[in-house]
Amino acid sequence: MGLYDVIIVGAGPAGLGVASQIEGKVLLIDKRKTPYKKIACAEWVPLSFPAKGVQYIERVVTVYPGGTVYNHWKGKIIDREKWQESIVMSLHCDIHFGEKVEWVERGIVKTDKGRYKADWVIGADGAVSQVRRAIGIKKPSLLPAVNVRVKAKKYIKETHIYFMHEIEKGYGWYFPKGEYANIGVGCNRNLKKTLYFFIQFLFSKNFIDKNISSVSFGYIPLSGLLKLVKNRVILVGDAGGFTDPLTGAGLFQAWDAAREVARVIKGEISPKEYENLMHKTYGKFLKRRYEKRKILEEKWRNLKEAVEKSWISFFQE
Ligand SMILES: Cc1cc2nc3c(=O)[nH]c(=O)nc-3n(C[C@H](O)[C@H](O)[C@H](O)COP(=O)(O)OP(=O)(O)OC[C@H]3O[C@@H](n4cnc5c(N)ncnc54)[C@H](O)[C@@H]3O)c2cc1C
């Protein structure tokens, strides 16, 4: 059995964030052979996010039954594949890609290929976390979402959010990325049919070419922050419920929390301090966003009112 100081499960932003900031005998495991490829993500981040922007965004445009709202919020679209791949290439730890973690118990990580023991196990395995399940933390409700990369027909420096009855209890997005665009939907029902509808819609508006270069599917955790530490296992990123339940954005929080997990490993703060700090920083914020998400769902039949009572364009944090 391999012995390690730290085993990190998941090579997404959260796991890579931890792996790139710690030393010692570290093992990074991911079930995918190339976890930095075909990632389900619209790739929007705030300007302060530490990855190069490939497209800068000057405003957010929300289209809904009440009209169109413009918010001058700046951000950037990154190339997640290149960014994550470059981090993987810079790591000095042991890397086991194409290996799935099946269970974690008393510091022992059991995979489909072997068993390893560590002082710390980091659950960075995303929204449907197996590590979280193994330590008995309840699964949050999840919103299915799909992102498609298409050729863009218009060069714009704004992201578009569409609230439409056809995209049930969710929304559609159009995020430009140079000559391409990330488009997609997150919704409660008929994801495939809804996506097809949305592609047709954007096509009819002459926003996109119908040639699709990649389709990727994922889940967005909706309940807000969970319990993060149990029996020398620490949850981070989507596994810990860091994602904004209203907008679906989770990259910034995953990276930010990873830095704090690295501090725990380095002995700079205790696991309890990590848990407290994260709940202080994000707990209330994510709870409020979850409440807004519930309003959007409950009032969905009157979509104009639902959006005005819940969406970020209509309230101040
Ligand atoms: C369609 C979509 C669009 C999104 N758009 C945005 C956006 O524009 N901006 C934004 O900020 N956020 C966005 N998000 C959210 C963002 O993608 C996540 O918050 C972010 O990826 C969380 O990072 P993570 O490292 O916690 O998890 P992930 O990126 O999900 O990484 C988890 C890793 O764990 C691995 N794994 C899972 N289970 C196991 C196992 N049992 N054993 C081994 N490995 C395992 C997976 O293969 C994966 O590589 C979007 C999400 C979706 C679904």
pLDDT tens-place string over residues 205-215: 999 987 888 89
Report CA-CA distances (Å) from 71 to 1, 144, 197, 221: 54, 26, 26, 25
145 Cβ below 6 A of ligand 1? yes
What pLDDT was estimated at residue 188?
87
- Write the residue with the smallest CA distance to atom 37 of ligand 1: 125
What separation in Å is there between the alpha carbon of 255 and the centre of ligand 1?
A: 12
What separation in Å is there between the alpha carbon of 92 and the centre of ligand 1?
A: 22
What separation in Å is there between the alpha carbon of 119 and the centre of ligand 1?
A: 25
Rounded Cα gap, residues 194 and 189, in angstroms: 8
Runs of H (alpha helix) within 25-129? 80-90
Angular region, 289: left φ>0, alpha ψ -120 to 50, beta rest: alpha
Rounded Cα gap, residues 90 and 137, in angstroms: 33
Closest CA to 282 of 257, 262, 315: 257
Write the CATH number for 124.
Answer: 3.50.50.60
Range of the domain at 235: 2-314
For 304, the token pair is 């104009």
Angular region, 237: left φ>0, alpha ψ -120 to 50, beta rest: left
Give CA angle at 241 (235, 15), nearest 5°. Answer: 45
- Write the residue with the smallest CA distance to atom 50 of ligand 1: 41
Mean pLDDT of the chain: 96
CA atoms within 13 A on the CB side of 250: 29
Q: In what order do the strands lie in the sheet with 180-186?
A: 67-71, 59-64, 158-162, 171-177, 180-186, 142-152, 208-221
- Write the residue with the smallest CA distance to atom 4 of ligand 1: 41
Q: How many CB atoms lie within 10 A of CB 89?
A: 8
What separation in Å is there between the alpha carbon of 301 and the centre of ligand 1?
A: 31
* Bridge partners for 177 per DSSP: 180
Rounded Cα gap, residues 99 and 107, in angstroms: 18
Burial of 142 (0-12, 13-18, 19+ CB in 10 A): middle
9 Cβ below 6 A of ligand 1? yes
What separation in Å is there between the alpha carbon of 205 and the centre of ligand 1?
A: 30
Under-70 pLDDT residues of the chain: none
238 Cβ below 6 A of ligand 1? yes
Q: Which long-range contacts (CB under 8 A, 24 or more apart) does 189-194 make?
A: 191/144, 191/145, 191/146, 191/217, 192/146, 194/166, 194/167, 194/168
How many domains are there within the chain?
A: 1
